[in-house]
Every structure is written in structure tokens, then in C-alpha cells.
Amino acid sequence: MEINHYEFEYGEYGETTGVTINLRGYDILRFNNISKGTAFSIAERIRLKLSGFLPPWVKPLEDQVKNSLDIVAKKENDIEKFIYIRSLYDRNVVLAHAVIASDITQFLPIIYTPTVGLACQQYSTMFRRANGIHLFPDNIDYAEQILGNYTDQDIRVAVVTDNQGILGIGDQGAGGIPICLGKLMLYTQGAGIAPWHCLPISLDVGTDNQDLLNDSNYLGWRHNRLKGDDYDAFIEKFVTAFKKVFPKALCQWEDFSKQAAFSVRDKFLDQVISFNDDIQGTGAITLAGILAAMKSKKQSLTDQVFLVHGAGAGGVGIAEQIMTELMEQGLDENAAKNRILTLDSKGVVTTDRDLEPYKTKFARDPHALSWIKTPIDNTLVNAIINEKVTVLIGTSGQPGCFTRDIVDAMAKNTDRPVILPLSNPTTKTEALPEDLYQWTDGKALVATGSPFEPVLHNNKKYRIGQMNNAFIFPGVGLGIVASGATKVLPVFFSAAAHAVAEFIKDQDIQDGILCPPLDQLRQVSIAVAKKVGAEAIKAGVTDNGCAFSRFKHNNDVERLNALIDNMIWNPVYF
């Protein structure tokens, strides 16, 4: 007896060109990757034995999108909109992505941050349909079989979380998988990687969130988190299985705890094609904004002094990316490090403290900071004044900590201070853009991590650039997949940062706007992919046996660009 199934067809360049459906009747409507809902034509309904399973009127995609937008507009709040979009995705992938693409600026905050944070917190109570893969201690020994049983086997990108460092709200146990779902929707929206090539994975190693453990509705593994050797063994088993089942797929680590984010990234860098977006994506988009600021200031990056306020995974990742770029621009490693300060709740991070390992890289010698006479001197404002900081970056999650005296101190060091309050959501931002413009008489160069409305200053309206990682990771992923890169190099993220900075319009640069608008996400992602793929070819890390391409030389970049253009999937019906 033949097993009913469907298969996607691919062209010479790895692009999706069609779908072969060996299903008939109602079964077709059950699979969201192939269902058109009411858009199936009369001829298709007859041929596929759908007659009688749908109402008689045929509604084309554009009408379905309009109807869905009308429904979204009537939802009372963003979490209800999130639930509707996810439910729509579960029924009809093309329609869901067509709705999102109709206004990416409106829908990005709904499908991802900040709304996805609420979805993580409410995951167990709002669970409707299984999405992705859940691995936990009771099934991790069978991870290879589980991954092999997944419906879609042509996986090109997986987003993987251990659910511990979710968007500033911490340990969410099994509830972190909406983060993976949201990121993968952005891989599709930005880089055009088709949904059936995307895999969300939750590594449920337990939770130390007692509220979840006490919640009768909680769906996760009801134990405290694995730690130490047990945790390491669990991750090792996952990596081994993933590499065996999906050897050419990219694994994006997402929302691990601060120390685990670095240790997991570094340990498996050569075992699986992988990167950590919280570290490297955050670093790249921040560098992109800083590069744009240098164009606006008409100054060199190597002449700046950087202070990162918030020495977590994102903050240290930003420092890493800045250091890499400073070295690319001619400084040696020590000189580059000496232009970067990281600061946590105890002040500037120094080597005389008992530090988490990931913080040590940018810890400063306290003897070189002569202005710190006593611990009470080690403050943000004193660091800015004494170290002559010109670029201030906030990843602290401390709302309002960039106060007027902080901004005044920055303005005394440089005519155009670069001030980047990146913590999100908006309730945690270090400063409001409106205040930064007012306090500096419009001289500050500002970008934020959360979306803000334009600011009116001196009768001119300024768009506030949002340093959203969505400008980085989709394009990086597409560049890796298209080139057949076998490992992820730091230079990929430098290339991505330059691609984003180069995409910003000259008029925006003149106005001090440091990021492209979100409605250019697709164009930016393609530009990033081409830069990243070219770097992979240049570095000689592409797989000559890659299913999509055969690149070995720099003159293959033109073919790479054609491949990328052809691989882009758009939400239209076959």
C-alpha cells in the first residue's frame, strides 16, 4: 500500500519550484505547508478530490490576506494577534507569511519581540498544536531517531534554545520554543528560506523557575535544571544526533544563559555549523550602527572609546565584534581591547574581581584605572569622564540609567556622542530617544533596541533606527547555506555589519539615523547573505560537495549571487 506524502521540487539553484502531492481529499487540508484553504481552484478541487470539503466560493490569496488583516485589526491586544498568526500558520503557511509580508513593520513586534515574550510565559496554557521538536532527559538518548522522524527532512536552518535566558525574562522551561518559531519566521521573511527548511528545537533540561514547577498546567520536564556534567552530556548528545541527521544544516543557538551561551558556542564551533545570535548577531547589528555613526561623524572607528553598560552575553558579544573590527582596521589586540570598557552592576569590570569566565576577556587592569580610588568611584559617569568615552552602548536592562548627567558627560567628550540604549522591551530602555535629542540639542547619534515612534526636534522629524538582530541573522544564515560553508567564522559577522551599514541611505546618514527601516528587511537580508557567502568563499570554508553549489574560488561570487537570488522563497501558491 502506498503511503500518502508530498515532496517539494527544487530547481538547479536549490529554489523551490513546485510540489508533488501524493495525498488526496481531506488529508491535503491537514498539512499547512501545502494547503491553500479556500484558494484551491475548482479544477484542483476535482483533481485532488477536495470537492465537498470546502465551501464553493474560490477566494484567491490576495482576498485571503485582506480578510486575515481585517481579523487581526479586530483583535484586542498583541498576544491575541500573535495567537491568530500562529494558528493561521498552522493551517496555511503561505497565507500566514503573506499576511506578515504585507506589513512587516507592524507584524515583526507581534511574531517576535516583544510579544513573543508573553507567548513564552503563557506557552503551556495557550498550547494549541505541536510545533518543532522537544528533547528532554527522558528522550535525549533517542535524539537521532526523533530528528529523523521529523516530517520535513530537508532542513537547512534550526533554531535551538535551552530556554534559560529568554528575552530578559529568564528561565521559561519548555516555554522557550516560541522564540525559535519567531526567529524562523524571520528567516523566511528576511532571507526567504522556505518554512519547510526550518526546524525549531527546544532542549528542555528542566527549569529552576519554581512558579512553572508548581503550575499544574506546565507542559515541560518537571525537574530542576541539569547542571555541570549532566548538562554538558545532554548538549553533547544533541549535537552528535543533529550533526548525523542534518550534517549540512545551520544550528543557531538561542537564548542560553550568559555563561552557557559562550561555552556551548565555543565548544561545538568545529563540530556543527553554528553560531549564537544573542552574542554574534547582537554584536554585528551594533557594529553596523556604529559604522553608520562614523560616516555621520566623519571620524575613524579607531579614534573612539567604547563603553558597554551591561556585561551579559549581548554586551560581551558587542565588545567582541567591536574588537574584531578595530583589529581589521589596524589596531593590535591589546590596543583594541584598551579602547573598550565593559561595565556591570559593580562598575567597570576589572581583573581583581571573581568573574564569570565570559567576562574575563574584557576585564581591565585596575591599576590602569587610576581614577578608581575606592569602589564607590567605580561608576558609569566617572568611567565616561575619565576614560573619555565617545560611544555608549546599553545592554543593562536598567530603565532610565542613561540620565541627564551621563549624557552631559558624553557630550563633553565629543561633539556628536553615539548613544545606543539597546535593552528591550521599551520599558527597559536605558534612555528615551526624545530625551537624548533634547539633552544634546539634537547632536547625539541614537539608535535603540526596541521600536520607538519618530522624534520631532527643531521642527524636523527623525526616524529612530532600531538595531534589530533581524537585519543580521537571516542573511547570515542564507549566506552560509547558499555557499555551503562548513563552519561559521567571525568575519561573517563583520561582513554582515558592513552590508547593513552600506544599505543605509545617504540622507539617513546625514540625519544621524543609524539603521535601515524594517520594511527593507528582505533587501538588507539578501545584501548580507551575498557578503557573508563571499567571505566564506574567500576563506575557503565552502563544501565542494554542497547540495546547492560548488564554490572554491573568488570568481565564483557571481554564481553565488545568482544562487541566492534564485533560492529566495516568496509566499505565493504553486
Q: Which of 424, 442, 468 is the last residue of a domain?
A: 468
Q: Is 419 helix (H, G, I), strand (E, B) or coil?
A: strand
* Chain segment 432-454, per-residue pLDDT in tens: 999 999 999 999 999 999 889 99
Rounded to whole angstroms, what are the CA distances from 359 to 310, 344, 386? 11, 10, 22
414 in any annotated domain: yes
Rounded to whole angstroms, what are the CA distances from 457 to 67, 287, 430, 447, 463? 39, 26, 20, 15, 11
530 in any annotated domain: no
**102 and 172 share one domain:** yes
Q: Which of 226, 260, 294 is the last residue of a domain?
A: 260
Task: Give the active site residues.
Answer: 112, 183
**10 and 24 share one domain:** yes
**13 and 152 share one domain:** no
**330 and 215 share one domain:** no
Report, as ranges of residue numbers, the positions in the chain whose pLDDT lies below 50: 1-3, 545, 547-549, 551
**185 and 122 share one domain:** yes
**102 and 51 share one domain:** no
541 in any annotated domain: no
Strand partners, 348: 343
Q: How far apart are CA 496 and CA 8, in angstroms?
A: 30
Rounded to whole angstroms, what are the CA distances from 69 to 39, 119, 511, 572? 17, 21, 34, 17
What's the pLDDT score for residue 151?
Answer: 82
**103 and 248 share one domain:** yes
Phi–psi pair at 466, nearest 5 degrees: -105, 120
Q: CB–CB of 284/415 below 8 Å?
A: no
535 in any annotated domain: no
52 in any annotated domain: yes
CATH of the domain at 229: 3.40.50.10380
**77 and 212 share one domain:** yes
pTM of the predicted structure, to 2 decimals: 0.94
What would the grid cell of residue 374 be?
575606592
Q: Which of 440, 468, 496 is the last residue of a domain?
A: 468
Strand partners, 202: 134, 161
**366 and 394 share one domain:** yes
**354 and 287 share one domain:** yes
Domain count, the chain: 3
**87 and 188 share one domain:** yes
State the greatest distance between any 2 C-alpha atoms of the chain, in Å, as a whole number.
83
551 in any annotated domain: no
**400 and 289 share one domain:** yes
* Chain segment 258-288, per-residue pLDDT in tens: 889 999 999 999 999 999 999 999 999 999 9
How buried is residue 494: exposed, middle or buried, by Cβ count under 10 Å (0-12/13-18/19+)?
A: buried
Range of the domain at 31: 6-59
CATH of the domain at 50: 1.20.1370.30
DSSP 388: T
CATH of the domain at 370: 3.40.50.720
How buried is residue 149: exposed, middle or buried, by Cβ count under 10 Å (0-12/13-18/19+)?
A: exposed
388 in any annotated domain: yes
565 in any annotated domain: no
Q: How far apart are CA 478 and CA 571, in angstroms?
A: 17
Rounded to whole angstroms, what are the CA distances from 475 to 37, 43, 112, 256, 276? 31, 39, 17, 22, 14
